[in-house]
Amino acid sequence: MNTPVISPEDEYLGEHHIYEPHITGLPQMRPYFRELWARKSFAIELSHTEMHAANTDTFFGQAWLVINPLLLASVYFVLVEIIGGRSQPPTFFAHLTSGLFLFYFISGAMIQGASSVVSGGRLIMNTSFPKALLPISATYTAFRRFLPTMIVFGVLDLVARLPIGLQLLWVPVILAEAVCYGLGLALIFATAQVYFRDTKSFLPYAVRIWLYLTPILWFADKAPKRLLPFLPLNPLYGIMGAWSEVLIQGKAPAHRLILIGGAWSLVTLVLGGLFFMSREREFAVRI
Amino acid sequence: MARRVPVGKPAIRVENLDITYRVSVESRPTLKGAIIRLGRPHHSIRVVEACKDVSFEVSNGQVMGVIGANGAGKSTLMRAVAGILPPTKGRIEIHGKVSTLLALGVGFNGALTGRENVVLGSLAAGLTRAQIERKYDEIADFAELGDFMDMPMRTYSSGMYSRLAFSVAVNMDPDILLIDEAMSAGDAKFRNKASDRMTDLANNAGTMLLVSHALGTIKSMCSEAIWLHKGRLIQRGDPDEIVAAYTKFLEVGEDPLSLEDI
């Protein structure tokens, strides 16, 4: 869709649209983003309603937002500490939970983002709106599910007497990078899912393998020898490394890590956005 | 802000519109086929020409009716004018803000209450929160659901659901309104109210494009009508003439059943 063009003769009009057969190719950026910003309440409300509806009939209701991360952390604790055998340093559980929660935010944005467009069939067929709102809503949902997990982590932080100080000011920076990266992935996989409906089925396995290859279930300096040279290739190397340094080691993160994380996030977001927006017109026909 | 289209410019102009769907159909799996293709389905592509070389114009302030048999391409045409479907060939030009009433309950979630769905549905249709705040009472009163507004919509009867969905959809302030057969909802009393509201909209909205099988409505509300059949525009002109030609084509004749009053 060519979003509104305001030519001089139309300056006293509301809008002027021209629809021509360009299936791919980018829409005009400024009107697109203006429309996106104007409709942001819809993305937010959609997210709220999905979360609300998900836990409506259960006994624990919204408490699941906290129960889920706790159960998740205990599953991996059992796996690594008890079954894994080797005894871990005392900060291990905190490292595990903090990394796991952030990882689940990013992978959650990716997986929910992937199905956001194909499941919005009725909405897409009957309303004209910038469809990027759907993966944005999915990412926002993943972020809202992430926040209570940080409360759980905060409690663990105090119990384990991890260092608290100015380095925590880096947390919003790292989170911003994580949000951009998650949104970029959501946009990419939402588009991929429309063309290749098997994407959603492959993703959970890819996420699992990615989890095992990231320094979450193990410490980066104790990585298996074979893996060491490949560690920096992991897109989460920067973000997770910085996260661990700030929360567990209690120091400001190495600039290298912040920059690598920022680069990955920005590139993924821009490429994901361009990919999504260039294909957006075809969605209504393919769903 | 004045919302007048400049003299000489139509609110909607459709030029040589072609819309073709390519539908991927899974053909019946045979054992031999399944073995050869290792279990993957065989897709054959069927091409559906939903609109073929359609051209017309709607002037500012005009109510244009669109009639045709099922599968004529009316809904496809509406979605193309709304910007939802891209044209395969041709061009569409719109002057003004478009609001659509193409399906009821778009964006609604059954687990939420009527109140919450009004907010969600209105946001989906493009209203801002401030506008929803102002219009909420109007919407709720129109739907006449009383205390049910605070119950989850999965507890509603289908008539109640349609009433609320319709109520949300008609409370916009568009320049151009596209309506696709959303009118037959609720009991007779509500349908009268709905039809009055539609007439209000037709008078106030400026321009309206209305798809309906209710030929009586077409005759009473529209100043001009077009007849689509299998994607082509067959005839355009005065609603009475077009309806007469159409019903003659259907060999039904103008009787109450086909005029289907709302």
Q: How far apart are CA A286 and CA B27, in angstroms?
A: 18
Give me the residue from A9, A19, A282 closest to B80, CB to CB: A19
Residue of B nearest to A3 (CA): B83
Residues of A in contact with B91 (CB under 8 A): 18-20
Please report how the helices B188-204 and B158-170 are oriented relative to each other, as an axis angle in degrees rounded to 10. Answer: 10
- Supply the ipTM of this predicted assembly: 0.76
User: Structural domain of residue A255, as residue ranges?
Assistant: 39-286
Residues of B in contact with A129 (CB under 8 A): 124, 126
Closest CA to A238 of A271, A203, A264: A264
What number of CA atoms fall less than 13 Å from residue A77's CA on the CB side?
A: 15
Q: How far apart are CA A215 and CA A221, in angstroms?
A: 9
Would A118 be classed as within a structural domain? Answer: yes
Is A26 within 8 Å of chain B by CB? no
Would A32 be classed as within a structural domain? Answer: no
B76 near B18, Cβ under 8 Å? no
* Same structural domain, A55 and A4: no
Residues of A in contact with B21 (CB under 8 A): 285
The count of domains in chain A is 2
Q: Inspect the interface and report whether the beta carbons of B97 and A21 lie closer than 8 Å.
A: no
Closest CA to B61 of B206, B202, B204, B223: B206
Give me the residue from B1, B91, B100 closest to A20, CB to CB: B91
In angstroms, how far is the first alpha carbon of chain A from the final one?
Answer: 17
Q: Count the residues in chain A.
A: 287
* Same structural domain, A63 and A203: yes
The CATH architecture of the domain made up of B12-97+174-259 is: 3-Layer(aba) Sandwich (3.40)
Q: At B133, which amino acid appears?
A: E
Q: What sign results for the dihedral spanned by CA atoms A16, A36, B126, B225?
A: positive
Is B79 within 8 Å of chain A by CB? yes
Prediction pTM value: 0.83
* Same structural domain, A134 and A14: no
Is A127 within 8 Å of chain B by CB? yes
- For B67, the enclosing helix (H) or strand (E) is strand B63-67
pLDDT digit string (tens) for chain B, length 262 residues? 334 444 556 888 999 999 888 777 776 666 776 677 776 766 778 888 889 999 999 988 888 999 988 888 888 999 899 888 888 889 999 888 787 777 777 778 888 888 888 888 888 877 888 888 888 988 888 888 888 888 888 888 888 888 888 888 777 766 788 887 655 566 778 778 877 887 787 777 678 888 888 888 888 888 899 999 888 998 899 999 999 888 888 876 555 455 555 4
Q: How far apart are CA B41 and CA B34, in angstroms?
A: 7
Helix (H, G, I), strand (E, B) or coil at A222: helix
Residues of B in contact with A21 (CB under 8 A): 86-90
Residue of B nearest to A39 (CA): B126
Q: How far apart are CA B13 and CA B25, in angstroms?
A: 34
Q: How far apart are CA A88 and CA A77, in angstroms?
A: 11
Q: What is the DSSP string of B40-106?
A: PPPEEEEEEEEEEEEEEEE-TT-EEEEE--TTSSHHHHHHHHTTSS--SEEEEEEES-EEEE-STTT
A127 near B108, Cβ under 8 Å? no
| Helix extents (H) in chain A | 29-38, 40-54, 64-77, 92-116, 121-126, 133-159, 171-195, 199-213, 237-247, 255-286
Residue of B nearest to A22 (CA): B86
Would A215 be classed as within a structural domain? Answer: yes
* Same structural domain, A21 and A97: no
A83-141 confidence digits (pLDDT tens): 776 677 778 888 888 999 999 999 999 999 999 999 888 888 888 888 999 999 999 99
Among the residue ranges A51-65, A198-212, A251-265, B218-232, the one predicted with the least confidence is: A51-65
Mean pLDDT within A207-216: 90
Closest CA to A110 of A200, A186, A196: A186
* Same structural domain, A165 and A251: yes
Q: How far apart are CA B50 and CA B19, in angstroms?
A: 6
Would A242 be classed as within a structural domain? Answer: yes
Tell me the two tokens of residue B108: 């609604």
Is B106 within 8 Å of chain A by CB? yes
Tell me the two tokens of residue A219: 């410490």
* Same structural domain, A198 and A73: yes
